Structures are given as structure tokens and as C-alpha cells.
Structure 1
């Protein structure tokens, strides 16, 4: 896409490149209107992956940035939208969205997702035709005695996850989660290398479940928990959560967090059994259907 002039004098739009990473940092860290999509990777990682990365500039200075990652299964996520204080979010969104939409369609994207992390962003999304669906909820476990350990089926054992397990774990993950929650290979590799605990549940047929957990200053985080659909309701998820919480208790963590979507009732019930409770923060998920009619 060539540079496109826009309505306000001196403003123009261009494609961003990997060289623009440092140039947009002031927008991310110092401006009042910033949306960053919480994800498995830092937001700037996505500018070197398949994405739509647009800058609204005045002279040579970025005034706004719009970044959406292009994932597998014709799915895209809005990863970053940030605007300088000299522009209104509506003005910047209107100009950037008019250029981003045809690029997404040309790339074959059928659904664009965004988390409504801010009220002003939700207004922009709704004005662009996005529809609200489920809600992402955060839960927390405060250190307490664990419920009784439950025996696993005799043919299933737990062991530490190894790097060579990632391919099988990713295949399982993509069966266990619907869009838009599926992980990609870069996602699972990054979170595995950042993990302080990771465990797989193994049957004679291979890996049937896993968890990957990370640590922070304030406690632990159950980053991912997945069980093969054909192996669910056999106590594997319970055993993996027990394994993660045991690890964090031994490390002295006072808190462990996890997040899921509000209609994932089986996961919520499992976490409640261990004493997890909802935190006040929640974010609605928005989706815009870009699939051609009849597709």
C-alpha cells in the first residue's frame, strides 16, 4: 500500500516495518489512549509476524498506530491501537480502519477479534460494527490447603514437559480450544521457555493433557491448561491443576491467577473446586465477521 493522504493537513498513512518498533514506543508508553492486547508474546513481536501494521504520521512522527496479527484459521486479533493526545481516538481510528479493512480482507481474514479493554475502545469497536460475545474473566487462588488428591486412571501418568513435547501439545491444544483461543507454535514455544513449571499427562497413546505455568513478582500464573477432548472428565484437568498449585505452594507463592472466558463453565467449575475466585476485572470479547457472504 502506498502512502495514503488523509483529511487533516499533514497527516498520512503508511505500512509499518520492523524498523518502526522503537519509533512507536512513545505512543505505547506515554500517550493517554493505548490498547495493547494481552497475549502470549510482547506486542512488538507481532510486527515481524504476518500482520496489518499501519502508522498515521505527521511529517516523520507517528501520531497513531494500528496493528492486527493474522493468525491461522483466517483469524485476526487487534493487538495494538495507540493515539497521541493531539488526535481524538475516533479520528485516528476512522482513518486507519479505512485502510486496514481492505488489507485484512485481501489477506483472507474472516474474523477479526478484539478485547474491549477500555470504554473508549469499546465505543470505537461497536461503531465499526463489531459485536460483543463472551467475556474474559480472571480468577485468583490465595494460598490455602489443597483439596484431596484424586487418583488418575492407571494408564495415565504425569511427567515434566520437554521441548520435544511441544508439537504434540500444540496439536492437542488446537483440538481442546475453539477459535479464537487456539495457540500457535511461536506462542507455545515462548510460554514454555518462560515457564517455571510445565507438566504433561501421558497415556499409552501419547500426550492427553498439559499445563504450563509461569511466575511473577506477586505469585504464579496458570498460563495454559489443556486436556484432549476424548480424555476429558477423567480427572486429568484436576490432576494438572493440583500439580501446578503444589509447585507454587512449594515455591512459597501467595497467589496464583488464571483466566478463561465466561462461558467455559467446565473450567470455571474446576477452578472453583480448588478455591479460585473471580477478580473484578473482566473484558468483553468483540468480533467482526469479514467472511464473504455465503462463505
Structure 2
């Protein structure tokens, strides 16, 4: 099938490719994208971001640039209709991984996979499963309201809180789940709700939530380890669920790892129900 596509070349992407990549993503293409706070095309000026191009135009794209904290996700793999997906991967992945190996050692390339075909491709390329992500859903009709603290207040997150929120991320999350400072700022810009609990003049916990056509999503919740197991997470969840209700949003989702038993127990106290589907996180070590 490859001989249908003439003059195939691999090259690095650049900002002038943006319109063509938009078109690629709007076609009925095979698309794997990282569910981060920024569009994959926001990484267009970062390496490695490779294109497979033919006389007919761009046929595939692959991007896995590290952020400023060297946290790396497979941010985009897209293949236009009619081009063999495996051939595109087998062409672009070696180019990207060669670039990464020249620049970094010990870096982990991560991918949250929601497609069986993509999972098979990654596993054939020596990605290994390290987590399973689960989805929980809250329905107001089946809500439970556990007792929460009344001696603390929840307030809006402010830009001047970013550094403290970033430091909470560093201490509360394992490496691949941390938000870099730029990701933190992007999350704030995209948020429906961004709220914090402050204790003794210091941000002790925060949550960031979004909305979508189906309802609301509790996207981020973290508590400074110094204040964990003291009811702060419960208070933040109560606060955002009330906020969603006030806006007429009555179905809420949240994601967590299947082995994060404390998190699962916390959400189930509010009546969240775990869905059957799970999504693997695969990892490739440089």
C-alpha cells in the first residue's frame, strides 16, 4: 500500500504546518492524543514533533516533547485515512525515540491509552503497562453527603497561588501525574472552578474542575502531605459538587488510578460509582 503514497519523507514539524495539522485532525483520521490541558498543536515548536509527508501532503504526525520538568507523554499520533497506521508508527517512532535518546537518559515516555489498536502498537514497541485509570461517576439522585469540616473556608484560586499549588503537586503526586508550572497555568485558564483551602496563610489543598457537554469533571485535587487525612479533600469535593449543582450540572466524573485505594474510598463516600471500563497507562523508558 505504501507505493500509493509518493515521495515519502520524515521531517520535523514547524509553526507553518499548523493549518495542515488542523486539517489532519479534522479528517476521519486515526488519532491518539494526550488528554492534557493544552492542544497537542501547542507543542508544535517543541521537539520531538515529527511529520511523515508525501506528495499528497502530511499523512502522519507524532509528538512526544517533554515539558519543562522533563515529564513526557505521547502527545499526538495521527494518521490520515487510507495510510496504514502501523507503517506510520514504525516510521515516525524510531525518529522520535532517536532524538530523545540523544538528549535524555532515564526519561519515561507515558501514554494513557483509550484505543485497543493503539495499545497493541505501543506494546509491540516495548511500552509496558504501569497503571490502570478508572472513571467514577456521581449522580445527584444517588448522592451521599459525608460530614465535612466547618472550621475552614474554601476560596477562589488566584494567580499568586500558582507557586504553592505547584509545590503541592510536587509533594502529593508521583512524577508522571505532576503538573508543570505551565500546565498549572493552562489548567487555571481552562477551569470551570479552581479553588483552594488556605491554612495559616499557606495553600494547603486545591481542586480544579471543568465542564463538558455531558456534565462536570473533577480534574485535579491535591492536599499538601502535611494536611492529608484531615478532611480537606472532603471539604473541597463537597464545595465543587455544590457549585456544579447550583449551575444545574448533576452528573460529575472523576478519574483515578485503580490502585489508589484512598482516593477510591474518598469518592465512594459521596456516592461516586466506578464504571467497568479501565484505561491503561503505558510507559517506555529511555
Shared fold, TM over 0.5: yes
Q: CA deviation at 1:205?
A: 5.4
Distance 1:93 1:267 in 2: 36
Contact 1:218 1:254 in 2 (8 A): no
- Which of residues 220, 224, 230 in structure 1 aligns to 2:226? 230
Distance 2:259 2:15 in 1: 37
- Which of residues 231, 239, 252 in structure 1 aligns to 2:248? 252
Q: CA deviation at 1:197?
A: 2.2
Aligned residues: 281
Task: Please list the CA deviations of residues 217-237 of structure 1 after superposition, one character each: whole Å capped at 9, or x if unmatched.
Answer: 332211210101121111111
Aligned partner of residue 246 in structure 1, secondary structure: helix
Contact 2:144 2:269 in 1 (8 A): no
Superposition pairs of residues 202-241 of structure 1, within 5 angstroms: 202-204=198-200, 206-241=202-237
What is residue 120 of structure 1 aligned with on the other side? 117
Distance 2:30 2:189 in 1: 32
**1:136 maps to 2:129:** no
Distance 2:183 2:70 in 1: 17
Q: CA deviation at 1:278?
A: 1.8
Distance 1:78 1:196 in 2: 26
Higher mean alpha-carbon deviation, 239-248 vs 276-285, is at 276-285
What is residue 275 of structure 1 aligned with on the other side? 271
**1:188 maps to 2:184:** yes
- Which of residues 43, 59, 79 in structure 1 aligns to 2:40? 43
Q: CA deviation at 1:80?
A: 0.8
Distance 1:32 1:197 in 2: 33
What is residue 55 of structure 2 aligned with on the other side? 59
**1:265 maps to 2:261:** yes
Contact 2:69 2:180 in 1 (8 A): no
**1:173 maps to 2:166:** no
* TM, length-normalised to structure 2: 0.91
Q: CA deviation at 1:216?
A: 2.7
Uncovered stretches (5+) of structure 2, i.e. residues with no partner? none
Q: CA deviation at 1:72?
A: 4.1
Q: CA deviation at 1:182?
A: 0.5
Distance 1:105 1:216 in 2: 38
What is residue 3 of structure 1 aligned with on the other side? none
Aligned partner of residue 114 in structure 1, secondary structure: strand
Detail structure 1 runs of 4+ shifted over 4 Å in the superposition.
Answer: none
Uncovered stretches (5+) of structure 1, i.e. residues with no partner? 1-5, 291-295
Report the RMSD for the aligned CA atoms in angstroms: 2.0
